[in-house]
Chain A
Amino acid sequence: MCDQTFMAITFGPCDNCSTTSPLMNIYIKNEPTNYCSFCVEMMACQGLLKGETLASLKNESESLKKKLEEERAKLHDVELHQVAEKIEVVSALSIKTRRVLKGHGNKVLCMDWCKDKRRLVSSSQDGKVIVWDGFTLNKEHAVPMPCTWVMACAYAPSGCAIACGGLDNKCSVYPLSLDKNENLAAKKKSVAMHTNYLSGCTFTNSDMQILTSSGDGTCALWDVESGQLLQSFHGHTADVLSLDLAPSETGNTFVSGGCDKKANVWDMRSGQNVQSFETHESDINCVKYYPSGDAFASASDDATCRLYDLRADREVAVYQKDSIIFGVSSLDFSLSGRLLFGGYNDYTINIWDVLKGNRVSMLFGHENRVSTVKVSPDGTSVCSASWDNTLRIWA
């Protein structure tokens, strides 16, 4: 309701397009203006246009997705397990617990092997990070963290440092000294800073860079020495729970999985998301590359593990059973990629034949959820960490 009157010019040059025509007297942002009828219509529609644009973009996106699915489906000429019928079955496995590592006071959330194939680092809900010689069961270092729920830990390639983090939203690096009495906590170096919990961390090929994933929905690459952010990776629309570096000597990619049910492949140089896979029905808890680097597997709360091939750009296998109803928290491949070890929330480890798609074995032993499974660097054993406060090494 205008509370002012102004000189109503009914014919003349339009304030917008300057053409001489019959004018309409309107207020734009409380300023009195004179527009020709054409300009008035254009301006009124722009409000509408903005709303429509989002919807029309969504439509475009949907039709592209459909087209992509159709194109990819054309390449789906056979199932992996069908092609694998011609190879021999895996001979019966007799895998048993060979070591039980006791010492954590609460749930063990994460572990990582050292390149020397026998040492490992583990982290727990009680804030403790322990470095073990898995072979002798000797605890070599114990680092108290200032926060609880240390969800991620990693061993440096040199074997001289470890990285860990969790609810503190940071990833910190601790150099491991040979002196047992030295206070490791004092030498702590804060490297990564996220705005939510740290869900995963791994060193790249050297002690000098760390790749992290976080509940803030991003992944990031950091320079350890300076703590500088080298590259950040945006694209997930919810927490990122896991990541894995491509095993190639020449490659610069990694894969991440998150609560948005997506698994994304990233180029470390550009920060770009190069491929994306979304077939899971719930959170992806863990992602791992197949040893050749041409494929990767993912573990989800929908109780399935899935294998995605990067060259076919699609899911090529699903590992599931009616009797498995609890989510998979973690997985890893055996050295050749023939076996897939999955750690489940039903306290067991299921071992799958990657090519044929069937379960070959089941490992009982843990008394609570399995949080992490990792095969040792030379493939001689697999270690599992559990909410029952212990770690087990199986072979």
Chain B
Amino acid sequence: MAEGSRDQAAGVGTTDPEDDSPNMIVYRKIEDIVMRIQDEKAGGVAIRTVKSFLSKIPSVVSGADIVQWLMKNLSIEDAAEAIHLGSLIAAQGYLFPISDHVLTLKDDGTLYRFQSPYFWPSNCWEPENTDYAIYLCKRTMQNKARLELADYEAENLARLQRAFARKWEFIFMQAEAQVKIDRKKDKAERKILDSQERAFWDVHRPVPGCVNTTEMDIRKCRRERNPHRVKKSVYGVPDDSQSQPSPVHISSQPARKPTKEDVQKEITFLNIQLDRHCMKVSKVADSLMGYTEQFMEYDPFVSAVEPSNPWISDDTTFWDLEASRDPSQQRVKKWGFSLEEALKDPAGRDQFLKFLESEFSSENLRFWLAVQELKRRPLCEVASRAQEIWQEFLAEGAPSSINLDSHSYERTSQNLKDPGRYSFEDAQEHIFKLMKSDSYARFLRSNIYQDLLLARKKVSNTDLTSTLYSLALISFLLLFGVFAAT
């Protein structure tokens, strides 16, 4: 590999501390880990030269050692998690197995080497196909069994030869030049450099079927240090080829600089926040805990589902029961948690309405439901529907007249001059509070609700009638018998 291009510092080693893009954040964390692992004096792993048959393998560490280090230093209890994290660090290109193209970590004696900072992904490499062609070509020139091309690499080379047919002579020459320079290097150093170079290409031209970790989330592309992914040559080759336009969505700007108006708005906002009355954390904690504990028995991930969770048992009985007209006791119990819960459940809504109708006071709930429905209408229907609601519930002599305080009444009447989706918000809020404090409480005490909650068997009309008849007959006969006796 040409020394020149190596020194061509593309921000060698460390990431730009100013760069806060999402990928850089991860790279920085991985680099921190990888530096710590290699720092033997500070509790890192021992990177040694291993003797193998007739040769020596320089600068390696076993997978097991890495897994051990990760578990100890990152407080990981489960080896599987450490192996997974290690595999990801390898897949990103920071360490690699010395005798495999597939970048994963194994928890055994498999030997691994750390990647050179020159090749770190944080340098925003976007290597060109000409570079890859030079590299593959170079590999074929070296008579080493360990450097033989894998099948997929041979295929890639063939494809590149076809694509770059015209400049193949140039590529060949570059490859030759690099081979010459490499020959002059120290043997051990060459082994290390070759493996690091191979690992670099394993990241940027992965084995088919392996994840390409250089793929980016398109929403985050704009803020990359190299947003247009201008291709930098790994080997210092000038780019004259037609580069494809990268699929980066360019048009929008990154965070705008705040203007005077922005800051003024911010000040207004902050003043509103300062005036807001907030609750103590202890209180909200109790409230969150209370809510969660109340609903845990309904949470399929935490409590058992009766009869079974359809996804686990492949039996849809649970869903059929939920859809049926007869709500279970457990479901009825939920309606008692709050008026909101009761109204959320269509069955709860029906029962509440039934109760109110029995008391001849259903207009409040019907109004509330009508306003909810209004908000769901398409824009073109809103104005006329709003008028209808006014006529039905609020106008002089309305058939289902509801009781509003004068303030809300005034506001609503004003809103109706330009009727919109939210014209009845004040009124709806007022009515909801009324129902909550008055009729809802009575509903919970009512027979309609209690019967369902306690699953009392309802005495049907026919039963009652026949019972009454039987009683009447018996009493008549008894009386008749008494008369007859006297």
CB distance from A193 to the nearest CB of B (A): 14
Q: Which of A3-11, A39-47, A177-185, A307-315 contacts B (4 or more CB under 8 A)?
A: A307-315
Chain A residue at minimal CB-CB distance from B293: A87
Q: Does B251 contact A (CB under 8 A)?
A: yes
Q: Given A64-B270, A64-B274, A237-B255, A84 and B298 touching (CB < 8 A)?
A: no
Q: Does A336 contact B (CB under 8 A)?
A: yes
**Is the Cβ of B378 less than 8 Å from the Cβ of A226?**
yes
A309 to B211, CA, bound (A): 38
Q: Given A65-B270, A135-B310, A291-B291, A309 and B281 touching (CB < 8 A)?
A: yes
**Is the Cβ of A312 less than 8 Å from the Cβ of B292?**
no
**Is the Cβ of B252 less than 8 Å from the Cβ of A239?**
yes
Q: Does A187 contact B (CB under 8 A)?
A: no
B26, B74, B282, B376: the one contacting A208 at CB < 8 Å is B376
Q: Does B278 contact A (CB under 8 A)?
A: yes
Q: Given A237-B258, A380-B311, A311 and B278 touching (CB < 8 A)?
A: yes
Q: Given A316-B284, A354-B292, A196 and B252 touching (CB < 8 A)?
A: yes
**Is the Cβ of B298 less than 8 Å from the Cβ of A312?**
no
Q: Does A75 contact B (CB under 8 A)?
A: yes
Q: Which of A15-23, A27-35, A318-326 contacts B (4 or more CB under 8 A)?
A: A318-326
CB distance from A308 to the nearest CB of B (A): 10
Q: Does B168 contact A (CB under 8 A)?
A: no
User: Which residues of chain B are within 8 angstroms of A199 by Cβ–Cβ distance?
Assistant: 219
Q: Does B80 contact A (CB under 8 A)?
A: yes
Within 8 A of A (CB), among B292-333: 292-296, 298-302, 305, 309-312, 316, 318-319, 322
A238 to B257, CA, bound (A): 11
Q: Given A248-B340, A249-B343, A338 and B278 touching (CB < 8 A)?
A: no
- Which bracket fits the contact residues of A? 35 or more
Complex interface bits, A265-301 against B, C-beta within 8 A gives 1, otherwise 0: 0000100010110000111000000111011000001
Chain A residue at minimal CB-CB distance from B428: A250
Q: Does B484 contact A (CB under 8 A)?
A: no
CB distance from B432 to the nearest CB of A (A): 6
CB distance from B36 to the nearest CB of A (A): 12
Q: Does B88 contact A (CB under 8 A)?
A: yes
Chain A residue at minimal CB-CB distance from B210: A367
Chain B residue at minimal CB-CB distance from A292: B291
User: Which residues of chain A are within 8 angstroms of B289 by Cβ–Cβ distance?
Assistant: 83-84, 87, 355
Q: Does A364 contact B (CB under 8 A)?
A: yes
User: Which residues of chain A are within 8 angstroms of B259 by Cβ–Cβ distance?
Assistant: 54
**Is the Cβ of B219 less than 8 Å from the Cβ of A337?**
no
User: Which residues of chain B are within 8 angstroms of A314 by Cβ–Cβ distance?
Assistant: 278, 281
Count of A-B contacts judged by CB separation below 8 Å? 274
CB distance from A190 to the nearest CB of B (A): 16
**Is the Cβ of A260 less than 8 Å from the Cβ of B255?**
yes
Within 8 A of A (CB), among B1-54: 20, 22, 25-26, 29-30, 33
Q: Given A83-B285, A322-B74, A395-B300, A250 and B340 touching (CB < 8 A)?
A: yes
**Is the Cβ of A312 less than 8 Å from the Cβ of B274?**
no
User: Which residues of chain B are within 8 angstroms of A282 by Cβ–Cβ distance?
Assistant: 20, 22, 25
Q: Which of B145-153, B261-269, B401-409, B470-478 contacts A (4 or more CB under 8 A)?
A: B261-269
Chain B residue at minimal CB-CB distance from A84: B289
A117 to B283, CA, bound (A): 34
B26, B255, B319, B375: the one contacting A325 at CB < 8 Å is B26
A57, A64, A301, A382: the one contacting B22 at CB < 8 Å is A301
A64, A78, A90, A346: the one contacting B282 at CB < 8 Å is A78
**Is the Cβ of A77 less than 8 Å from the Cβ of B281?**
yes
**Is the Cβ of A334 less than 8 Å from the Cβ of B379?**
no
CB distance from A246 to the nearest CB of B (A): 12
Q: Does A197 contact B (CB under 8 A)?
A: yes
**Is the Cβ of B316 less than 8 Å from the Cβ of A135?**
yes
A275 to B78, CA, bound (A): 40
Chain A residue at minimal CB-CB distance from B288: A295
A84, A336, A345, A388: the one contacting B285 at CB < 8 Å is A84
Complex interface bits, B50-77 against A, C-beta within 8 A gives 1, otherwise 0: 0000000000000000000010001110
Q: Does A102 contact B (CB under 8 A)?
A: no
**Is the Cβ of B280 less than 8 Å from the Cβ of A380?**
no
User: Which residues of chain B are within 8 angstroms of A290 by Cβ–Cβ distance?
Assistant: 288
Complex interface bits, B211-235 against A, C-beta within 8 A gives 1, otherwise 0: 1000100111001000000000000
Q: Does B143 contact A (CB under 8 A)?
A: no
B263, B280, B379: the one contacting A57 at CB < 8 Å is B263
User: Which residues of chain B are within 8 angstroms of A61 by Cβ–Cβ distance?
Assistant: 263, 266-267, 270
**Is the Cβ of A276 less than 8 Å from the Cβ of B274?**
no
User: Which residues of chain A are within 8 angstroms of B377 by Cβ–Cβ distance?
Assistant: 206, 208
Q: Does B276 contact A (CB under 8 A)?
A: yes
Q: Given A61-B266, A354-B292, A294 and B287 touching (CB < 8 A)?
A: yes
Chain A residue at minimal CB-CB distance from B311: A395
User: Which residues of chain A are within 8 angstroms of B311 by Cβ–Cβ distance?
Assistant: 98-99, 135, 380-381, 393, 395
User: Which residues of chain A are within 8 angstroms of B251 by Cβ–Cβ distance?
Assistant: 195-196
Please indicate which of the listed interface residues B25, B70, B421 has the most CB atoms of chain A within 10 Å of its own CB: B25
A60 to B219, CA, bound (A): 34
Chain B residue at minimal CB-CB distance from A60: B267
A39 to B155, CA, bound (A): 82
**Is the Cβ of B267 less than 8 Å from the Cβ of A323?**
no
**Is the Cβ of A335 less than 8 Å from the Cβ of B300?**
yes
Q: Does B422 contact A (CB under 8 A)?
A: yes
**Is the Cβ of A269 less than 8 Å from the Cβ of B280?**
no
User: Which residues of chain B are within 8 angstroms of A295 by Cβ–Cβ distance?
Assistant: 284, 288
Q: Does B208 contact A (CB under 8 A)?
A: no
Chain A residue at minimal CB-CB distance from B299: A336
**Is the Cβ of A309 less than 8 Å from the Cβ of B29?**
no
Q: Does B260 contact A (CB under 8 A)?
A: yes
Within 8 A of B (CB), among A77-128: 77-80, 83-84, 87, 90-91, 93, 95, 98-99, 117-118
B267, B280, B319: the one contacting A117 at CB < 8 Å is B319
Q: Does B108 contact A (CB under 8 A)?
A: no
**Is the Cβ of B292 less than 8 Å from the Cβ of A355?**
yes
Q: Given A323-B75, A326-B88, A379-B301, A336 and B281 touching (CB < 8 A)?
A: no
Q: Does B256 contact A (CB under 8 A)?
A: yes
Chain B residue at minimal CB-CB distance from A313: B278
A252 to B376, CA, bound (A): 13
Q: Does B81 contact A (CB under 8 A)?
A: yes
B76, B247, B292, B300: the one contacting A380 at CB < 8 Å is B300
Q: Given A334-B299, A380-B309, A80 and B255 touching (CB < 8 A)?
A: no
Q: Does B179 contact A (CB under 8 A)?
A: no
- Point out residues on A near B: beta carbons under 8 Å: 53-54, 57-58, 60-61, 64-65, 67-68, 71-72, 75-80, 83-84, 87, 90-91, 93, 95, 98-99, 117-118, 135, 148-149, 151, 167, 195-197, 199, 204-209, 215-217, 223-226, 228, 230, 237-239, 241, 248-250, 252, 259-260, 269, 273, 275-276, 281-283, 290-292, 294-295, 301-303, 309, 311-314, 316, 321-323, 325-327, 334-339, 345-348, 354-355, 362, 364, 367-368, 378-382, 387-388, 393, 395
- Point out residues on B near A: beta carbons under 8 Å: 20, 22, 25-26, 29-30, 33, 70, 74-76, 78, 80-82, 84-85, 88, 211, 215, 218-220, 223, 247, 249, 251-252, 254-256, 258-260, 263-264, 266-267, 269-271, 273-274, 276, 278-289, 291-296, 298-302, 305, 309-312, 316, 318-319, 322, 340, 343-344, 372, 375-380, 421-422, 425, 428-429, 432
20 intermolecular pairs with C-beta atoms under 8 Å apart: A54-B260, A57-B264, A57-B267, A61-B263, A67-B274, A77-B280, A93-B301, A118-B319, A148-B247, A215-B252, A226-B379, A230-B379, A269-B425, A294-B284, A309-B284, A311-B278, A316-B285, A338-B302, A355-B292, A395-B311
> Beyond A57-B264, A80-B288, A90-B302: 16 further Cβ-contacts under 8 Å?
A54-B260, A64-B274, A68-B274, A80-B285, A83-B282, A91-B302, A151-B219, A195-B252, A196-B252, A226-B380, A311-B287, A335-B298, A336-B292, A336-B302, A380-B309, A380-B311
